[in-house]
Protein backbone atom coordinates (compact mmCIF):
# COMPACT_ATOMS: atom_id res chain seq x y z
CA UNK A 1 0.00 0.00 0.00
CA UNK A 2 2.88 2.39 0.71
CA UNK A 3 4.09 2.17 -2.90
CA UNK A 4 0.54 2.52 -4.17
CA UNK A 5 0.07 5.72 -2.18
CA UNK A 6 3.33 7.14 -3.52
CA UNK A 7 2.10 6.58 -7.08
CA UNK A 8 -1.29 8.19 -6.49
CA UNK A 9 -2.06 11.49 -8.15
CA UNK A 10 -3.98 13.44 -5.52
CA UNK A 11 -5.75 16.74 -6.00
CA UNK A 12 -7.54 19.31 -3.88
CA UNK A 13 -10.31 21.54 -5.18
CA UNK A 14 -9.95 24.28 -2.60
CA UNK A 15 -6.69 25.09 -0.85
CA UNK A 16 -7.71 26.26 2.62
CA UNK A 17 -6.44 25.28 6.07
CA UNK A 18 -7.85 21.75 6.14
CA UNK A 19 -6.64 20.89 2.65
CA UNK A 20 -3.13 22.10 3.35
CA UNK A 21 -3.11 20.31 6.72
CA UNK A 22 -3.85 17.01 4.99
CA UNK A 23 -1.42 17.58 2.13
CA UNK A 24 1.39 18.82 4.38
CA UNK A 25 0.93 15.94 6.79
CA UNK A 26 1.11 13.30 4.04
CA UNK A 27 3.92 14.95 2.09
CA UNK A 28 6.06 15.64 5.16
CA UNK A 29 5.70 12.00 6.20
CA UNK A 30 6.75 10.85 2.73
CA UNK A 31 3.39 9.20 2.05
CA UNK A 32 2.55 11.30 -0.99
CA UNK A 33 4.82 12.57 -3.74
CA UNK A 34 4.45 16.37 -3.77
CA UNK A 35 5.02 16.46 -7.53
CA UNK A 36 1.90 14.29 -7.95
CA UNK A 37 -0.26 16.65 -5.88
CA UNK A 38 -2.43 19.35 -7.50
CA UNK A 39 -4.52 22.06 -5.86
CA UNK A 40 -6.95 24.53 -7.38
CA UNK A 41 -7.97 27.74 -5.62
CA UNK A 42 -10.15 30.70 -6.57
CA UNK A 43 -7.28 33.17 -6.18
CA UNK A 44 -3.50 32.89 -6.17
CA UNK A 45 -3.16 34.20 -2.58
CA UNK A 46 -2.80 30.70 -1.14
CA UNK A 47 -0.43 29.41 -3.82
CA UNK A 48 2.75 30.38 -1.94
CA UNK A 49 2.19 27.84 0.86
CA UNK A 50 1.38 25.12 -1.65
CA UNK A 51 4.45 25.87 -3.74
CA UNK A 52 6.59 25.58 -0.61
CA UNK A 53 5.28 22.02 -0.29
CA UNK A 54 6.36 21.30 -3.87
CA UNK A 55 2.82 20.79 -5.15
CA UNK A 56 1.17 22.05 -8.35
CA UNK A 57 -1.16 24.98 -7.57
CA UNK A 58 -3.56 26.22 -10.26
CA UNK A 59 -6.56 28.51 -10.65
CA UNK A 60 -8.37 25.92 -12.78
CA UNK A 61 -10.43 23.15 -11.19
CA UNK A 62 -10.37 21.08 -14.36
CA UNK A 63 -6.59 20.62 -14.07
CA UNK A 64 -7.19 18.82 -10.78
CA UNK A 65 -10.05 16.78 -12.21
CA UNK A 66 -8.11 15.86 -15.34
CA UNK A 67 -4.84 14.87 -13.66
CA UNK A 68 -5.75 13.23 -10.36
CA UNK A 69 -6.90 9.76 -9.27
CA UNK A 70 -8.17 10.98 -5.90
CA UNK A 71 -9.93 14.35 -5.69
CA UNK A 72 -10.51 16.06 -2.35
CA UNK A 73 -13.47 18.45 -2.38
CA UNK A 74 -12.24 21.15 -0.01
CA UNK A 75 -14.20 24.27 -0.97
CA UNK A 76 -16.71 25.99 1.29
CA UNK A 77 -19.96 23.97 1.24
CA UNK A 78 -21.90 26.74 -0.52
CA UNK A 79 -19.26 26.89 -3.29
CA UNK A 80 -19.74 23.28 -4.43
CA UNK A 81 -22.38 24.35 -6.95
CA UNK A 82 -19.87 26.73 -8.55
CA UNK A 83 -17.45 23.84 -9.06
CA UNK A 84 -20.12 21.68 -10.70
CA UNK A 85 -21.48 24.48 -12.90
CA UNK A 86 -17.99 25.37 -14.08
CA UNK A 87 -17.24 21.78 -15.05
CA UNK A 88 -20.62 21.36 -16.75
CA UNK A 89 -19.94 24.46 -18.82
CA UNK A 90 -16.59 23.07 -19.90
CA UNK A 91 -18.09 19.69 -20.78
CA UNK A 92 -20.77 21.32 -22.93
CA UNK A 93 -18.08 22.89 -25.08
CA UNK A 94 -16.49 19.53 -25.79
CA UNK A 95 -17.55 17.39 -28.71
CA UNK A 96 -18.05 14.23 -26.64
CA UNK A 97 -18.83 15.09 -23.00
CA UNK A 98 -19.90 11.49 -22.42
CA UNK A 99 -16.26 10.47 -22.75
CA UNK A 100 -15.32 12.78 -19.89
CA UNK A 101 -18.15 11.45 -17.72
CA UNK A 102 -16.84 7.94 -18.32
CA UNK A 103 -13.28 9.05 -17.55
CA UNK A 104 -14.30 10.60 -14.22
CA UNK A 105 -15.84 7.27 -13.20
CA UNK A 106 -12.32 6.10 -12.37
CA UNK A 107 -11.80 8.85 -9.81
CA UNK A 108 -12.44 8.72 -6.09
CA UNK A 109 -13.96 11.84 -4.57
CA UNK A 110 -13.25 12.60 -0.92
CA UNK A 111 -15.44 15.32 0.55
CA UNK A 112 -14.25 17.58 3.36
CA UNK A 113 -17.44 19.65 3.16
CA UNK A 114 -19.04 20.07 6.58
CA UNK A 115 -22.74 19.28 6.65
CA UNK A 116 -22.94 18.12 3.01
CA UNK A 117 -24.55 14.68 3.01
CA UNK A 118 -23.84 11.76 0.72
CA UNK A 119 -27.23 12.30 -0.92
CA UNK A 120 -26.34 15.89 -1.79
CA UNK A 121 -22.83 14.97 -2.91
CA UNK A 122 -24.14 12.20 -5.17
CA UNK A 123 -26.86 14.42 -6.62
CA UNK A 124 -24.36 17.14 -7.54
CA UNK A 125 -21.46 14.97 -8.66
CA UNK A 126 -23.77 12.78 -10.75
CA UNK A 127 -24.08 15.74 -13.11
CA UNK A 128 -20.46 15.21 -14.17
CA UNK A 129 -19.79 11.61 -13.08
CA UNK A 130 -21.84 8.47 -13.53
CA UNK A 131 -22.33 6.71 -10.15
CA UNK A 132 -19.65 8.80 -8.42
CA UNK A 133 -17.50 7.03 -5.84
CA UNK A 134 -17.67 9.21 -2.75
CA UNK A 135 -16.11 9.21 0.69
CA UNK A 136 -17.55 11.82 3.05
CA UNK A 137 -15.07 12.76 5.78
CA UNK A 138 -14.78 15.01 8.79
CA UNK A 139 -11.07 15.48 9.58
CA UNK A 140 -9.44 17.98 11.94
CA UNK A 141 -6.34 20.16 11.70
CA UNK A 142 -4.07 18.14 14.07
CA UNK A 143 -3.72 15.80 11.07
CA UNK A 144 -0.81 18.05 10.14
CA UNK A 145 1.24 16.63 13.03
CA UNK A 146 -0.10 13.07 12.86
CA UNK A 147 -2.53 13.43 15.77
CA UNK A 148 -5.79 13.98 13.93
CA UNK A 149 -9.15 12.26 13.89
CA UNK A 150 -11.04 11.54 10.67
CA UNK A 151 -14.57 10.17 10.63
CA UNK A 152 -15.85 8.81 7.33
CA UNK A 153 -18.78 7.22 5.52
CA UNK A 154 -19.11 6.27 1.86
CA UNK A 155 -21.22 5.49 -1.22
CA UNK A 156 -20.54 3.52 -4.41
CA UNK A 157 -17.03 2.72 -3.22
CA UNK A 158 -15.07 -0.51 -3.49
CA UNK A 159 -12.72 -2.25 -1.09
CA UNK A 160 -9.67 -0.59 -2.61
CA UNK A 161 -11.20 2.88 -2.15
CA UNK A 162 -11.73 2.22 1.55
CA UNK A 163 -8.22 0.85 1.92
CA UNK A 164 -6.76 3.96 0.28
CA UNK A 165 -8.72 6.34 2.50
CA UNK A 166 -7.89 4.39 5.63
CA UNK A 167 -4.22 4.27 4.68
CA UNK A 168 -4.08 8.00 3.94
CA UNK A 169 -5.79 9.19 7.09
CA UNK A 170 -4.30 6.55 9.39
CA UNK A 171 -0.90 8.09 8.73
CA UNK A 172 -2.30 11.32 10.16
CA UNK A 173 -3.94 9.95 13.31
CA UNK A 174 -7.15 8.01 13.94
CA UNK A 175 -9.43 7.05 11.05
CA UNK A 176 -12.88 5.72 11.97
CA UNK A 177 -15.78 4.71 9.75
CA UNK A 178 -19.12 5.77 11.28
CA UNK A 179 -22.79 5.74 10.22
CA UNK A 180 -23.66 8.89 8.28
CA UNK A 181 -26.45 9.62 10.75
CA UNK A 182 -23.77 10.44 13.35
CA UNK A 183 -21.41 12.45 11.13
CA UNK A 184 -22.58 15.93 12.11
CA UNK A 185 -22.54 15.06 15.79
CA UNK A 186 -19.07 13.56 15.50
CA UNK A 187 -17.89 16.66 13.65
CA UNK A 188 -19.11 18.93 16.43
CA UNK A 189 -16.66 17.15 18.72
CA UNK A 190 -13.72 16.16 16.53
CA UNK A 191 -13.77 18.89 13.89
CA UNK A 192 -14.43 21.81 16.23
CA UNK A 193 -12.88 20.21 19.30
CA UNK A 194 -9.30 21.37 18.70
CA UNK A 195 -10.47 24.99 18.90
CA UNK A 196 -12.23 24.23 22.18
CA UNK A 197 -9.04 22.61 23.46
CA UNK A 198 -6.99 25.67 22.50
CA UNK A 199 -9.36 27.86 24.52
CA UNK A 200 -8.85 25.55 27.52
CA UNK A 201 -5.06 25.60 27.08
CA UNK A 202 -5.07 29.39 26.91
CA UNK A 203 -7.32 29.64 29.97
CA UNK A 204 -5.11 27.27 32.00
CA UNK A 205 -2.09 29.28 30.93
CA UNK A 206 -3.84 32.50 31.98
CA UNK A 207 -4.48 31.01 35.39
CA UNK A 208 -0.84 30.08 35.86
CA UNK A 209 0.30 33.50 34.64
CA UNK A 210 -2.04 35.14 37.15
CA UNK A 211 -0.29 33.18 39.87
CA UNK A 212 3.18 34.23 38.70
CA UNK A 213 4.31 31.67 36.09
CA UNK A 214 5.96 33.14 32.93
CA UNK A 215 3.66 32.98 29.89
CA UNK A 216 5.84 30.72 27.72
CA UNK A 217 6.27 28.20 30.52
CA UNK A 218 2.59 28.35 31.45
CA UNK A 219 1.44 27.70 27.89
CA UNK A 220 3.89 24.84 27.39
CA UNK A 221 2.81 23.18 30.62
CA UNK A 222 -0.90 23.72 29.90
CA UNK A 223 -0.57 22.10 26.48
CA UNK A 224 1.30 19.12 27.92
CA UNK A 225 -1.38 18.72 30.59
CA UNK A 226 -3.98 18.16 27.85
CA UNK A 227 -1.67 15.85 25.89
CA UNK A 228 -0.92 13.77 28.98
CA UNK A 229 -4.52 13.62 30.16
CA UNK A 230 -5.72 12.58 26.72
CA UNK A 231 -3.16 9.79 26.51
CA UNK A 232 -4.13 8.59 29.98
CA UNK A 233 -7.74 8.17 28.81
CA UNK A 234 -6.74 6.42 25.58
CA UNK A 235 -4.03 4.16 26.97
CA UNK A 236 -5.53 3.16 30.33
CA UNK A 237 -9.08 2.71 29.05
CA UNK A 238 -10.35 4.20 32.30
CA UNK A 239 -13.37 6.50 32.47
CA UNK A 240 -12.34 10.18 32.65
CA UNK A 241 -14.30 10.50 35.88
CA UNK A 242 -12.26 7.71 37.47
CA UNK A 243 -8.99 9.32 36.39
CA UNK A 244 -10.20 12.64 37.80
CA UNK A 245 -11.02 11.00 41.12
CA UNK A 246 -7.53 9.48 41.27
CA UNK A 247 -6.05 13.00 41.22
CA UNK A 248 -8.51 14.52 43.70
CA UNK A 249 -7.34 13.88 47.28
CA UNK A 250 -9.93 14.52 50.02
CA UNK A 251 -9.77 18.19 51.00
CA UNK A 252 -6.88 18.75 48.58
CA UNK A 253 -5.88 21.32 46.00
CA UNK A 254 -7.28 19.55 42.94
CA UNK A 255 -10.80 19.09 44.28
CA UNK A 256 -10.78 22.78 45.19
CA UNK A 257 -9.96 23.56 41.57
CA UNK A 258 -12.60 21.14 40.25
CA UNK A 259 -15.17 22.83 42.50
CA UNK A 260 -14.20 26.21 41.01
CA UNK A 261 -14.66 24.76 37.50
CA UNK A 262 -18.08 23.35 38.32
CA UNK A 263 -19.14 26.65 39.89
CA UNK A 264 -18.11 28.38 36.68
CA UNK A 265 -20.16 26.01 34.55
CA UNK A 266 -17.24 24.59 32.57
CA UNK A 267 -18.92 21.23 32.01
CA UNK A 268 -22.14 22.79 30.73
CA UNK A 269 -20.18 25.19 28.55
CA UNK A 270 -18.31 22.34 26.87
CA UNK A 271 -21.55 20.46 26.20
CA UNK A 272 -23.10 23.65 24.81
CA UNK A 273 -20.06 24.26 22.60
CA UNK A 274 -20.38 20.86 20.91
CA UNK A 275 -24.14 21.29 20.54
CA UNK A 276 -23.72 24.75 19.02
CA UNK A 277 -21.15 23.44 16.51
CA UNK A 278 -23.44 20.57 15.48
CA UNK A 279 -26.44 22.88 15.09
CA UNK A 280 -24.42 25.29 12.97
CA UNK A 281 -23.31 22.47 10.68
CA UNK A 282 -26.87 21.86 9.56
CA UNK A 283 -27.15 25.50 8.46
CA UNK A 284 -24.01 25.62 6.29
CA UNK A 285 -25.76 24.67 3.06
Per-residue pLDDT of the chain (285 residues), as tens digits, is: 667 777 889 999 999 989 998 999 899 888 899 999 999 988 888 888 899 999 999 999 989 998 999 999 999 988 898 888 888 877 777 655 555 555 566 789 999 998 899 999 999 999 888 889 999 999 998 988 889 999 999 999 999 999 999 999 999 999 999 999 999 999 999 999 999 999 999 999 999 999 999 999 999 999 999 999 999 999 999 999 999 999 999 999 999 999 999 999 999 999 999 999 999 987 776
Confirm or deny that 250 is annotated as ligand binding: no
179 phi, psi to nearest 5 deg = -60, 145
Residue 106 known to bind ligand:
no
Check whether 46 is labelled as a binding-site residue.
Answer: no
Q: For the beta carbon of residue 92, count every other beta carbon within 10 angstroms.
A: 8
- 41 appears as a binding residue in the annotation: yes
Residue 74, annotated as binding a ligand: yes
Give the architecture-level CATH label for domain 1-178. 3-Layer(aba) Sandwich (3.40)
**Annotation-wise, does 61 bind a ligand?**
yes
Domain boundaries, the chain: 1-178, 188-282
Same fold, 1-178 and 188-282: no
279 in a known ligand binding site: no
Query: Can you identify the CATH homologous superfamily of domain 188-282?
Result: ProC C-terminal domain-like (1.10.3730.10)
For residue 43, say whether it is annotated as part of any ligand binding site: no
- pTM comes to 0.85
205-215 pLDDT tens trace: 999 999 999 99
Is there a binding annotation on residue 177? no
CB 164 within 8 A of CB 8: yes
Least Cα distance to 112 among 18, 47, 21, 5 occurs for 18
Buried b / exposed e along 29-67 (16+ C-beta atoms within 10 A): eebbbbebbbbbbeeeebbebbeebebbbbeebbbbbeb
Instruction: Confirm whether residue 17 is marked as ligand binding.
Output: yes
Strands 173-177, 133-138: parallel, antiparallel or unpaired by DSSP?
unpaired
Count of CB atoms situated within 10 Å of the CB of 132: 21
- The C-alpha atoms of residue 285 and residue 281 are separated, in whole angstroms, by 8
Amino acid sequence: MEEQLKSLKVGFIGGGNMAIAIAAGLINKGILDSDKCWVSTRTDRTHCSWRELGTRPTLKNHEVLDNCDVVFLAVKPHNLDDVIVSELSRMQHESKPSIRISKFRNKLFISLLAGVTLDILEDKLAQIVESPRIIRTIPNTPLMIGEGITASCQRHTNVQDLEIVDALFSHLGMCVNVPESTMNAVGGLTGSGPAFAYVIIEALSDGAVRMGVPRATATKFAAQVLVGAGKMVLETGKHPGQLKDEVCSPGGTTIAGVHAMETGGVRGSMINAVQAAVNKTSKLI
